[in-house]
Every structure is written in C-alpha cells, then in structure tokens.
Structure 1
Amino acid sequence: MDTLTRRLTRAAIWSADGVQVREVALPDPGPGELVVRVRLATVCGSDLHTVSGRRPAPSPSILGHEAVGHVVAAGPGAEQEIGDRIVWSVTAACGRCARCRRGFTAKCEQVRKVGHEAFTGDWPLSGGYAEHILLPAGVTTVPVPDSVPDAVAAPAGCATATVMAVLEAAGDMAGRRVLICGAGMLGVTAVGASTERGARVEISDPHPQRRELASRFGAGPDTGGPVDIALDFSGSSTAVAAALSRIDLGGTLVLAGSVTPGPTVALDPEAVVRGWLTITGVHNYEPRHLVRAVEFLTRTHRTLPWNELVAAPVELTAIGTVLAPTPRNVLRASIAP
C-alpha cells in the first residue's frame, strides 16, 4: 500500500545517538503547503558537519536540504500542482519582515530552514532524508524539466542556487580572469557556470582528484598570477588571504565558504582604496537564484559531466553508510528514499 494512502511515511531521524529510520505520521497540507514524495536527496557537507559534531543543530531532526521530488498533495493556494516535479529552497521566509522587504528573505527575521528544524517541533517532516517532506508556505519551489536527471537536479536547492548568488555578486565575467578556491560541489559548479559566462577560470585546491574534476568543467590550473575576480568556497583563511593578494585593479573577491569561525585575515585598507577593490560575502540565496539554478542545469545537463559528481544512491535504510566523509573524487553521496 502506498505510504500516502496509509497516512504514514518513513524518515531517517538523526540524534546524538545516531540515525534511526522510523514511520512518521504524514500530515495534510495546509494553506500554501505541499507534500512532496522525495525521489533523490544529496548529502551536503553541512549535514556531514552536523553528524560529526562540528555544526550545532536541533536534535532530534530529519536532516537533508538538497532534494528533488514530485508533489503528491497540495494545500489551498499552493504554487505547484499534484504531479509537478520540483526542487525547493533551503529557507522558508515570512515575506513581511524588514529583511524580507529589503530582498534578504534568506535572512528573514522568522526564518525556518529545510532539514534544520527539530523533529519535536511544529514542523517535524522538514528534511529530505525521508520518503516525504512537508514544504510550508514561504519555501520557494521551482519545477524541473523531466529531461534533467534527479542526480543533477537535487543539488539545485543548495549548491547550485548558492553559486548563482555568488556569480551575481561577482558581476560580469565575460573575458575576465577568475580564480575559484575550493573544488568541492560549489566550486566545481562555479567553474562550469563561470566558464559558460565566458570567464577564463583557474582552480585552486590542494587535492589533485578534485582539481581534475574541475578541469572537466572548464578550469585551468592555478597560475598564481593576478586575477579580476576571486570566488572562495574553501573557507580557508589562508586561501582567502592568498586570493585577496592577487586581485587586480578594480577586481572583486566574493567569500562564500567562510561559514564557521576561523582565523582572521589581515586587510590593508590602502590597498583596497587604491586598487578600487570590492570584497563581499554571500550566504544562502534568494528565490531568483533557485530559478537560475534550474535554468543553468537544464542548459548544461548534457554538456557538462554532472553525473561524475554524485554517487549512486543508497536506500533510506542504508543512510548511515553515507553520513560520513566521502572520497575526494565524490562530491555528493545520495539517498533514494
């Protein structure tokens, strides 16, 4: 019997004691809400940090915020219809507070986050490591063409959309020299997106396997010379300092990887002033970036080797085998609930 029919679903519930797959009540969607049958969820590095204790998170909870699925139930006023194949944003925003009105919905004063909420709260079915997920009003949803494979679509809601926000902050890339620091999922995605925009891309990463992956998306080796734009996804203070020292006149440094406390980086204000430099940060993204992410993946799913970045999925009952660091040449593990 289908899980939606019997009003139960299975979910992997994480706590300090580990992960247990349990049956969970399947809610009816309220106004603006969707119930989605998860087809594939990818394992973001932030979830690995949560499980390893490096990142604080509510416990117990259902993790997972990168996923793709089909709508199986829709509440009144929902933006999608039953049967739609969609991806969704990490954040649920109120749309009314001062931050939302300024265009910073990802920093909503009442923000809630997919895969980051307490299982014991009012949104228990909030993560992608489950057969179904409830998406409340305020979560951005974007339809995905059937031609885009699940493994290509699933990272859109975190990695790809964040890259779209970073590239927007970087500005015009056509003909520019671009240094990308960190060849994880975001860095390799940024290589493909920057190359598509006409940039000459160099990749910096200590791991040769990841540099090789980046080269297949259009990156050349790091020459160590001056660049017009640097994008940091590594979060390494050493890498940030090195990138800053290489920004040429009128150049831009966009920081996206520094999401945990670390050593400070020395900044020479005179160099910034005389060099007309721009230094900015990006954390999460806005709804337009998720739309652009799906458009980008739709354009490139046949021309870029996305299939090399996501490992074959495991079943939900085997989730414990993928909530651990992956080999350097595998950027995303995946789960097919």
Structure 2
Amino acid sequence: MDQITAGLTPAAVWTGSGIEMWDIEIPALESGDLLVRVDLATVCGSDLHTVSGRRHGACPSVLGHEAVGHVVAVGDATSPAAVGDRIVWSVTVPCGRCSRCVRGFTAKCSSVRKVGHESAESPWVLSGSYARHIVLPRGTAVARVPDTMPDAVAAPAACATATVTAALDAAGALDGRRVLIVGAGMLGVTAAAAACERGASVTVVDRDPERQRQSRAFGAGEDDGARTDVTIDFSGSSAAVQSALGRLDVGGRLVLAGSVAPGPPITVDPEAVVRNWLTITGIHNYEPRHLHQAVAFLRNTDAKYPWESLVEAPVPLAELASVLRPTPSGILRSSVAP
C-alpha cells in the first residue's frame, strides 16, 4: 500500500446512541482486497431502521452499503479491479464454498458478511460506506461505473437498483403483463421504470399521494384497482401484501421484497392458490449478476428517467446524523460525501 493510502481515515461510527467521528487506521490489504475512496454514499432504509431501533445491527459499526467510489489500492493481482477504477460494490460477501453458494444463493451464504453491517471492533473495521475509505475483502462483487454516470445515480445501484433487478428476475417474463408495484420509495419507482423497460403495463400504489404521483415520471400509470398478473411488494406492510394477493389474476405471481422485519402474518387460502395457479415468492439481497445488470440499466436509461432528482444533495461526513432520518416527499435518498 502506498503512502497516500496508509495511515488514518475518518469514519462516522454508529454507537447505539448516536454517531461519533472516529479516525480509523487503514489496515494492510490481504490478497484479493480492494481499498476504495468513497465518493458518495446514499442512505438506505435499512440504516434508518438500525438507528431507529427497528433493526438489530452490530454496534459500534460503520453503517452504509449503498455507495460509489474509486479504487486507490489493491491487495494483489487477484483483486477484482485496478487502481483508478470507479466502482460500485455488492452488499454481501459470500464464502463461495458452502452449499448455498454452490446452489447459486450466494446472497444467503451460510457465513455471509455484509457491507455496512459488521462490527467496528472486528477485523473488518472499515466495512461501511460512511467513511472516507472502505475495504472490500476478497469475494465482494464489484461493477465498474461509467465516468458519465453521476454519483447520485450510480450509488443506489449497489442496493436499491440491484435488489429491484433481483425482484424482477423473480417476477419472470413481463412483456405484455400487468404489473402492480406496492410502495413508491426508491425501490418502487426504480421497479416501475425497470418493469416498463421490460414491456409491462405498470401501476404503483403508495399511501403517500406525492410519492405515488412522482412514480408517474418513471413510467407508472394510474391504478384502477383491477386484477394484475404480477405484484411486487416493497412496502413490507402485511395489510398491503394481503390486499395485493387478493388482486392477482389466474396465473398471477406475488414477489415479496419489502418484508424484512417482523410483522403480522397474512392469510393464504390454499384452494385459491391451487385453483388460480398462483405463485408466491420472495427475494432478499441479490446475486452479483444483478449488480452488473443494475449498472447497465441505469446507463441505458439515464436520459429517459430523472434518476438524479431522487437523491438529496450530500452533506459532509461529519453531518451524517442530520440525514439519518426519513426523507421528505419527492426525495427518496439522502446522501453523504465523505
């Protein structure tokens, strides 16, 4: 590692009661590792859940897993990128050897580690994106990002856009299908645009009328309450999921992506599932191919949809605490520029 990248780097650390600024020593890189300078990190809803107490996470820790940056040092020639590359990176770091990884479910690796979810007192201290630098260990999927893509467009690819891509894969072929998106947050509006690009007729529902109106700029039409072929839920609301299940037409498919915290159970009528050939499935995290597909999707639609408008102007790293809160209508992601 060269003299420029050696030494200390500032990080905003979640302590369980607030954010503290720490100077953390940059470790020596191991084989296959990358050291990345974080250019912009966006604030995902899961981080808001952590600081609000809705989600348990390691503590103290450097949060943040949705970001874009430049590689400033590599462990060796086996590293997946070169110095100077502009990249986004996956949330999950799998072992690549367990039965789940072998079956293609690396996102649910038996010993998975996750960017922005590890203890700051563990060997992987620089694991989150709310720091000037992050270490990406061997096994982290990375995707190169075009220089022409704004940071505010690229950063969400690492979580929101890639997760949407996984959800649409689970939904199956969408050309000519009626698709209902439940929840018009960052994932919902992204899914609306992505489903439209796959030839679907898309509607979006959200309890926030402003967010529902905003989805129109991403290809969504007015919801008329009619039957649907595919419903994708990003809301995590049991009531919304129950309602969406009741709207599926024969052969319909329900994809659950937002139910990532405990909630009331829903009622499923087995006879209705059988007689109507219904499919209910779920996705959590995503596979490396989805990260690459997410970058390609954003690159191909950068002139068609107002992606950059969804992200609030960044605050400095030292002001991270000020944006760890729900964003106002119209802004779906806060951001930090370390």
| Counterpart contact for 1:67–1:157, Cα < 8 Å | yes
Partners of 2:3 and 2:252 lie apart in 1 by 54
Partners of 2:4 and 2:178 lie apart in 1 by 51
Partners of 1:159 and 1:6 lie apart in 2 by 32
- SS of the equivalent of 1:168 reads helix
Residue 238 of structure 2 aligns with an amino acid whose one-letter code is: S
Moved more, 264-273 or 21-30: 21-30
Gaps of 5+ in 1: none
Q: CA deviation at 1:28?
A: 2.3
Question: Does residue 1:165 correspond to 2:166, yes or no?
Answer: yes
2:56 match: 56
Q: CA deviation at 1:5?
A: 4.4
Partners of 2:5 and 2:87 lie apart in 1 by 21
1:191 match: 192
- SS of the equivalent of 1:109 reads coil
How many aligned residue pairs are there? 336
Moved more, 273-282 or 320-329: 320-329
Provide Cα deviations, 1:117-169, integer angstroms capped at 9, x if missing partner: 00001100000000000000111001001111100000111110000000001
Q: CA deviation at 1:16?
A: 1.7
Partners of 2:198 and 2:179 lie apart in 1 by 11
Question: Does residue 1:175 correspond to 2:176, yes or no?
Answer: yes
1:327 match: 328
Q: CA deviation at 1:308?
A: 1.4
Residue 32 of structure 1 aligns with an amino acid whose one-letter code is: G
Partners of 1:323 and 1:256 lie apart in 2 by 22
| Counterpart contact for 1:58–1:118, Cα < 8 Å | yes
After TM superposition, list the pairs within 5 Å mapping 1:113-128 onto structure 2: 113-128=114-129
- Percent of aligned pairs with the same amino acid: 61
TM-score norm. by structure 2 comes to: 0.98
Question: Does residue 1:96 correspond to 2:104, yes or no?
Answer: no
Q: CA deviation at 1:213?
A: 1.5
| Counterpart contact for 1:3–1:9, Cα < 8 Å | no
The 1:80–1:130 alpha-carbon spacing in structure 2 relative to 1, beyond 3 Å, is same
Q: CA deviation at 1:3?
A: 8.8
After TM superposition, list the pairs within 5 Å mapping 1:248-327 onto structure 2: 248-327=249-328
After TM superposition, list the pairs within 5 Å mapping 1:80-159 onto structure 2: 80-159=81-160
TM-score norm. by structure 1 comes to: 0.98
Partners of 2:227 and 2:141 lie apart in 1 by 38
Residue 100 of structure 1 aligns with an amino acid whose one-letter code is: C
Question: Does residue 1:21 correspond to 2:11, yes or no?
Answer: no
After TM superposition, list the pairs within 5 Å mapping 1:191-270 onto structure 2: 191-270=192-271
| Counterpart contact for 1:255–1:281, Cα < 8 Å | yes
Partners of 1:16 and 1:176 lie apart in 2 by 45
Partners of 1:114 and 1:4 lie apart in 2 by 24
Partners of 2:219 and 2:237 lie apart in 1 by 23
Q: CA deviation at 1:17?
A: 2.8
Partners of 1:302 and 1:153 lie apart in 2 by 14
TM-align CA RMSD:
1.1
| Counterpart contact for 2:5–2:73, Cα < 8 Å | no
Partners of 2:28 and 2:183 lie apart in 1 by 42
- SS of the equivalent of 1:328 reads coil
